[in-house]
Amino acid sequence: MAQHNELGKQGEQMAIDYLIKKNYTIRDKNWRYLKAEVDIIAQKENTIVAVEVKTRSSDYFGDPQNFITKKKIKLLVMAMNEYVVSKDLDVEVRFDIIAILQNKKAFKIEHLEDAFLYF
């Protein structure tokens, strides 16, 4: 497996561990609908949270969260609509980003709640 794929999987596991420590329940990982994939679907109280995880080994080209495109946002919104409808859920939905940056051997985690409001 390519090194960037391994870093991505490691980042997703770090994000899951982070969310669990923050009292989120993990409902699904890598949930797919058509061309969309939601990295993590978590729940806290009556809110379902779609979490896009971006992990980078350097900020040379910018912060990890800056790599989310409008097309990706559109796909995530479509997928989460299907998730909520198919599971017959009556909940609020929120879209978060967890940006993970590796600096040498340490990792910095930044959790951006309601992240798509800024795009």
- Judge if pTM exceeds 0.95: no
What's the pLDDT tens digit per position in 26-64? 999 999 999 999 999 999 999 999 999 988 765 555 565
* Residues 9-41 as b or e (16 or more Cβ within 10 Å = b): eebbebbbebbeeeebeeebbebebeebebbbb
- Which CATH number is associated with domain 3-118? 3.40.1350.10
List Cβ neighbours of 69 (8 Å cut-off, separation of 6 or more). Answer: none
3-state SS assignment for residue 83: helix
What's the pLDDT tens digit per position in 97-112? 999 888 777 888 999 9
DSSP per position, 16-61: HHHHHHTTPEEEEEEEEETTEEEEEEEEETTEEEEEEEEEES--TT
Residue ranges per domain, the chain? 3-118
